[in-house]
Amino acid sequence: MTQQGTITTDHRMGFARIVFSHPSHNSMPSSLLAELVKQIDDAAADASVRAVLIRGAGDDTFCAGANLDELLSIEDEATGKNFFMGFANVILAMRRCPKPIVVAVQGKAIGGGVGIAAAADYTLGCKGAQVKLSELAIAIGPFVILPALIRKMGVSAASELCLDTEWHDSQWAKAKGLYQRVYAGPEELFREARLLAKRLAEHSPAASTRLKQSLWSGTDHWPQELAERAAVTGKLVLTDEAKNALAKFKKK
């Protein structure tokens, strides 16, 4: 495994299983985010695929969000916007994919990892699948993923998650609508996620596509909105307050 992380895919089961991995708690550098977008788009274009399952490797952390080293290396607004467009592009790929997407959250989800969970059509978690948005504590904000959070959880729950900047357990996430189901542990979660993806793959592709379009109604403006939000975050991350907060965060 390289420091850039890896993504493995399998299209042999009627659904595409996409597994991402990175040695730093499944954090996401730009290259890994771009590869995830490609794999989602490939699954969308593959006629043999009727559903998509996305999960992180391992049992401890689903996704630690943005890769901290790359985040700290941002030196100008254009680079900042491009970096935050990484998660925006994943969310947009999940939105435009005409096939239902299941996300299995087997461990802690932070920042952009929560955004991936929120952008799924069906999200499963397990007991250890805590969620946290720490962006406000590092002088930025979860602006790019906020539309997905509000769509999935509503303004009240999204506000609580954004403003608290503390851990929320999986039962809270289920009660607030982020997770549709919660299982005892990763083994049961992964088994049930595969079964769900397989069942979804058995439905009519045409009907599934029309249903997904209906479920995502009202999001046609997202490409422009997420780009604008990425630019805002890319500017905020350059402030001294953000740089100092990130440096302290890295030392923890």
Which structural domains are found in the chain, ordered by start?
6-201 (3.90.226.10)
Provide the whole-model pTM: 0.95
pLDDT score for 114: 98
Question: 192: helix, coil or strand?
Answer: helix
pLDDT score for 67: 86
pLDDT score for 216: 98
Return the ∠ at Cα 108 (arms to 41 and 135), rounded to 5°: 80
Closest CA to 91 of 134, 152, 45: 152
Which parts of the chain fold into alpha helices (H)? 30-45, 68-72, 77-96, 112-119, 146-153, 155-164, 170-175, 186-201, 205-215, 222-236, 240-251
pLDDT digits (tens, 9 = 90+) for 126-147: 999 999 999 999 999 999 999 9
pLDDT score for 11: 87
Question: 36: helix, coil or strand?
Answer: helix
Q: What does pLDDT average to in each consecutive run of 10 residues of the chain (252 residues)?
A: 71 92 92 96 96 94 91 93 97 98 98 98 98 95 98 98 97 98 98 97 97 98 98 96 87 70
